[in-house]
């Protein structure tokens, strides 16, 4: 629980002081929501007020949704004076007797500016009953719109109807009939023009760039003009052809390690994969055999420079020998004929060999420390590697379906010995215990790993529980009048056979599922929940379904839509850990499509407050999903993500829920996590769009000591091979005093609250009741009759979530 700290100061000195007694609501401050944006696309600004807490949807009703802070809240009347910054001002009065409610102002505080620009708006609120007041000044920009475009540019050089290459980083211009001009380069096919005044515009490719590269626009779709403001993201497709005199040219060859330095590809020399070869601004990557085939545009018989990307060379162990070719004579591409071959030698220094460590994690039924036949492996168990017990850095790797883990890398160092343990947090959540604190692993750089054994006491018979899990992840953008794609993921990490289980998926009001898109048709729908009764004879498995939803028009742009999932075993087997039995996804209506992003959600879904608000009296667990997509033109050999955790998060509570590909996690210390997808060979989107995506999902709790108004931010940096980082959006959460918290599944009455040893709920018939701690662990699961008390005396003091019959509530155990 967050703590409010009261300081009492005494003194040995006695000072005669006189105070005027303040009665009623004492105004102390005037604040704006954490997600507030001081920019408006139109030229009219509306100001609204609420007391102590934000009003529901206030950010969508007002440009400046102020929250009046104060003490001794009671019904009060107040006056407001606004200096709009353009020489005009307004006065209004209002009153309210409840918190978190929009206050009706008389007259409404609204002002339309005659000119675009940024204005200093000064707002004052004043309680005449006790002469308390607060003032806020903000620089607010009017007439500044954002226009987003998803732009594909294809090159059909010979105009035969076949696109030879998709172009990246193409400079675009937004040209207005008012003479205004805006420029932006496409990054991963996304364009974002900011600071654009309302009006009519035309989107075009920079004519100077076209001329410099010998291109002309053959077609664009859709054509015509653009009216701004515009909701959502517009998709454009441009096809370019080559000017006369420009020809589609081809070159191919092999990039290889030139061991004897003769510049020739000899039979015993090794190819180099994923090397970017560049000619005249065009790039092609070598395949697994070191071969490249590069198409570029130029003039026949002209000489063009050829190189392996210097940036890639600088980030590798290779160097360029003096006898490497640096130019190529242009030859046209001829259908059915191999291109001119030009092999490129590189110096490959002998890299220092890294030690490799590996082993198995398993349920040790007979406690002998040996992985015997019949004993069950533990899947997706996080294994932490340390150089020493006091080390501040570590590597975390996850076991596969056989319980096996492996790590080869420089982080652990040259030491031949490391210490290994299964994450203590993971063991606790699964109800397991370690049979030994650390296991010593012997490293090897010979290619033969000396496998160790990490036995775990799984309790009782090792087949009595299975670790079911589910997550919900975004697929593409989320807009009105469109079809949304939501990915439902689920599975089991073992160790036991799952048997029968139920999977449910709840979607927000106002949208409707496209039933034909659901892969498993054996479902039922009750209200807004799709449910499946499923069965699995496997100990571990992974499934997913991309379900389509129709999102109608006429909704509030920026509204919060929550999608949640739940998975529960229904047979004789129990769930090893309920920490990962619930998935959640928050979609913001009108959100742009960015294939590399970060999404965050909490256990409770709070539609009544602006995005990013947390209940200051709950120790929230945040679920983060990082998505990435290879939008290049060749497979990505390695992908890694640098994620710096907020100091307001409990780093030790980080638990990986799911990853799309095999992954290892390096803890660099100071909250800096490195998620590594080594040898992923992620296809590019032009070759295999469906397989070009990847993601990971983890859960982490905030610190109990976080104060009201504390802010938790998080940004990830995604690296594809040697390329510069792609920086995701920044997630934002702020602890606030939220009155009247609304749970998505309805409110469940609990009394007394807080409670010492017993509670009752407002059920009118027998109901199954689950009580969870704030980490999602079920601590009570029992049938409760009407009027029956629930014994909570043995629970630890803290806040708990109670659920019954699709209703939810919270209570405090003292």
Q: State the pLDDT at residue 307.
A: 92
Question: Strand 356-363 vs strand 451-457: parallel, antiparallel, or unpaired?
Answer: parallel
Is residue 316 scored above 90 in pLDDT? no
Q: For 66-77, what is the mean pLDDT?
A: 87
For 674-696, give the DSSP string: EEEETT--BPPTTT-TTTSEEEE
Q: Residue 311 contacts by C-beta under 8 Å, 6 or more apart in sequence?
A: 722
Q: For 292-311, what is the mean pLDDT?
A: 86
CB–CB of 437/348 below 8 Å? no
Alpha carbon 401 to its chain centroid, in Å, reads 26
Residue 319 is given by DSSP the state: E
Is residue 15 scored above 50 in pLDDT? no
Q: State the pLDDT at residue 594.
A: 62
Q: For 471-490, what is the mean pLDDT?
A: 81
Q: State the pLDDT at residue 411.
A: 55
Mean pLDDT of all residues in the chain? 81
Q: State the pLDDT at residue 608.
A: 47
Q: State the pLDDT at residue 346.
A: 94
Is residue 27 scored above 70 in pLDDT? yes
Is residue 610 scored above 60 in pLDDT? no
Q: For 183-196, what is the mean pLDDT?
A: 72
Is residue 10 scored above 50 in pLDDT? no
Q: State the pLDDT at residue 809.
A: 74
| Strands of the sheet with 807-813, listed across from one edge | 778-784, 767-772, 798-804, 807-813
**pLDDT (tens digit per residue) in 248-291:** 888 999 999 998 899 999 988 889 887 889 888 788 888 878 89
Phi, psi of 546 (to 5 degrees): -90, 110
Structure-model confidence comparison of residues 501 and 309, the more confident one: 501
Is residue 595 scored above 80 in pLDDT? no
Domains defined for the chain, CATH in brackets: 26-142 (2.60.40), 145-242 (2.60.40.10), 247-348 (2.60.40.10), 356-424+431-457 (2.60.40.1120), 466-593 (2.60.40.1510), 594-739 (2.60.40.740), 750-813 (2.60.40.10)
Is residue 8 scored above 60 in pLDDT? no
Assigned token pair, 734:
């702020």
**Model confidence band, residue 796 (pLDDT cutoffs 50, 70, 90):** confident
CB–CB of 50/104 below 8 Å? no
* pTM confidence score: 0.56
Phi, psi of 429 (to 5 degrees): -65, -25
Q: For 737-742, what is the mean pLDDT?
A: 48
Q: Residue 211 contacts by C-beta under 8 Å, 6 or more apart in sequence?
A: none
What are the start-end ranges of the E strands in 444-581? Answer: 451-457, 465-474, 482-495, 499-506, 512-513, 523-526, 529-536, 541-551, 560-569, 574-575
- State percent of the chain over pLDDT 70: 86
SS (H, E, C) 364-425: CCCCCCCCCCCCCECCCCEEEEECCCCCCCEEEEECCCCCEEEEECCCCCCCCEEEEEECHH
SS (H, E, C) 505-519: EECCCCCEECHHHCC
Is residue 493 scored above 90 in pLDDT? no
Structure-model confidence comparison of residues 384 and 54, the more confident one: 384
**pLDDT (tens digit per residue) in 699-724:** 888 888 887 778 888 888 998 887 77
Phi, psi of 12 (to 5 degrees): -80, -10
Q: State the pLDDT at residue 232.
A: 61
**pLDDT (tens digit per residue) in 333-362:** 876 677 889 999 999 876 556 778 899 999
- State percent of the chain over pLDDT 90: 20
Residue 664: enclosing H or E segment and its boundaries? strand 664-667
**Model confidence band, residue 4 (pLDDT cutoffs 50, 70, 90):** very low
**pLDDT (tens digit per residue) in 641-668:** 999 899 999 888 888 888 888 888 877 7
Structure-model confidence comparison of residues 183 and 558, the more confident one: 183
CB–CB of 805/770 below 8 Å? no
Q: State the pLDDT at residue 684.
A: 85
**pLDDT (tens digit per residue) in 419-458:** 999 988 888 877 788 888 899 998 887 778 889 999 998 8
């Amino acid at each position: 629980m967050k703590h409010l700290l009261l300081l009492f100061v005494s003194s040995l000195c006695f000072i005669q002081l006189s105070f005027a007694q303040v009665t009623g609501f004492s105004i102390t401050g005037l604040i704006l929501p954490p997600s507030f944006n001081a920019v408006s696309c139109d030229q009219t600004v509306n100001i609204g007020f609420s007391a102590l807490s934000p009003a529901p949807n206030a950010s969508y009703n007002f440009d400046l949704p102020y929250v009046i802070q104060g003490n001794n809240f009671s019904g009060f009347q107040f006056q407001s004076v606004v200096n709009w910054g353009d020489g005009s001002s307004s006065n209004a009065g209002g009153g309210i007797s409840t918190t978190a409610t929009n206050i009706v102002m008389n007259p409404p505080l609204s002002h339309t500016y005659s000119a675009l620009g940024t204005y200093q708006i000064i707002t004052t609120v004043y309680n005449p009953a006790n002469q308390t007041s607060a003032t806020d000044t903000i620089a607010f920009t009017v007439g500044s719109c954002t226009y987003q475009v998803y732009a594909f540019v294809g090159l059909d050089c010979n105009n035969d109807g076949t696109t030879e290459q998709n172009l990246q980083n193409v400079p675009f211009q937004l040209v207005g009939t008012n003479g205004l001009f805006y420029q932006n380069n496409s990054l991963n096919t996304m364009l974002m023009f900011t600071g654009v005044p309302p009006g009519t515009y035309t989107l075009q490719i920079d004519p100077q760039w076209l001329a410099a590269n010998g291109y002309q626009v053959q077609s664009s779709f859709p054509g015509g003009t653009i009216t701004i403001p515009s909701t959502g993201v517009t998709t454009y497709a441009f096809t370019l052809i080559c000017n006369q005199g420009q020809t589609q040219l081809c070159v191919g060859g092999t990039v290889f390690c030139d061991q004897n330095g003769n510049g020739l590809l000899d039979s015993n020399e090794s190819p180099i994969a994923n090397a970017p070869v560049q000619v005249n601004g065009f790039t092609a990557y070598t395949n697994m055999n070191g071969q490249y085939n590069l198409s570029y545009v130029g003039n026949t018989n002209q000489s063009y420079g050829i190189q392996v990307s210097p940036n890639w060379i600088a980030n590798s162990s290779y160097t360029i020998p003096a006898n490497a070719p640096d130019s190529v004579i242009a030859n046209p591409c001829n259908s059915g004929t191999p291109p001119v071959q030009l092999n490129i030698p590189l110096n490959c220094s002998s890299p220092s060999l890294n030690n490799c460590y590996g082993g198995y994690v398993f349920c040790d039924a007979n406690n002998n420390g040996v992985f015997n036949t019949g004993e069950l492996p533990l899947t997706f168990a996080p294994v932490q590697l340390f150089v020493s017990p006091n080390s501040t850095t570590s590597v975390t790797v996850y076991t596969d379906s056989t319980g096996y883990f492996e790590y080869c890398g420089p982080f652990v160092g040259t030491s031949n010995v490391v210490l290994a343990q299964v994450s203590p947090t993971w063991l606790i959540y699964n109800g397991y215990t370690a049979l030994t604190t650390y296991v010593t692993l012997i490293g090897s750089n010979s290619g033969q790993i000396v496998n160790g054994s990490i036995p775990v006491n799984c309790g009782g018979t090792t087949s009595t529980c299975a670790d079911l899990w589910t997550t919900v992840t975004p697929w593409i953008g989320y807009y009105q009048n469109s079809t949304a794609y939501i990915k439902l993921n689920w599975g089991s990490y073992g160790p036991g056979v799952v048997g029968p289980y139920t999977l449910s998926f709840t979607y927000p009001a106002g949208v409707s599922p496209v039933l034909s898109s659901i892969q498993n048709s054996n479902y039922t729908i009750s209200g807004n929940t799709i449910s499946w009764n499923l069965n699995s004879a496997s100990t571990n498995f992974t499934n997913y379904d991309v379900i389509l939803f129709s999102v109608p028009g006429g909704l509030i742009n920026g509204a919060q839509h929550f999608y949640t999932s739940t998975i529960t075993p229904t047979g004789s087997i129990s769930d090893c850990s309920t920490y990962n039995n619930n998935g959640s996804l928050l979609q913001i209506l009108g959100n742009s499509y960015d294939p590399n992003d970060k999404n965050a959600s909490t256990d409770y879904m709070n539609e009544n407050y602006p995005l990013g608000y947390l209940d200051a009296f709950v120790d929230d667990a945040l679920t983060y999903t990082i998505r990435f997509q290879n939008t290049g033109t060749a497979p990505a050999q390695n992908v890694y993500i640098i994620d710096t955790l907020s100091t307001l998060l409990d780093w030790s509570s980080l638990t990986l829920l799911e990853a799309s590909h095999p992954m290892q996690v390096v803890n660099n210390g100071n909250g800096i996590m490195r998620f590594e997808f080594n040898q992923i060979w992620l296809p590019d989107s032009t070759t295999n769009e469906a397989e070009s995506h990847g993601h990971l999902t983890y859960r982490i709790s905030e610190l109990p000591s976080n104060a009201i108004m504390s802010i938790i931010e998080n940004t990830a940096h995604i690296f594809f091979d040697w390329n510069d980082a792609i920086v995701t959006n920044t997630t934002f959460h702020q602890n606030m005093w939220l009155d009247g918290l609304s749970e998505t599944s309805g409110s469940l009455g609990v009394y007394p609250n807080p409670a010492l040893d017993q509670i009752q709920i407002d059920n009118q018939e027998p109901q199954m009741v689950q009580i969870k701690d704030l980490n999602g662990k079920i601590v009570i699961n029992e049938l409760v009759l009407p009027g029956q008390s629930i014994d909570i005396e043995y629970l630890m003091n803290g806040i708990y979530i109670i659920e019954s019959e699709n209703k939810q509530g919270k209570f405090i155990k003292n």
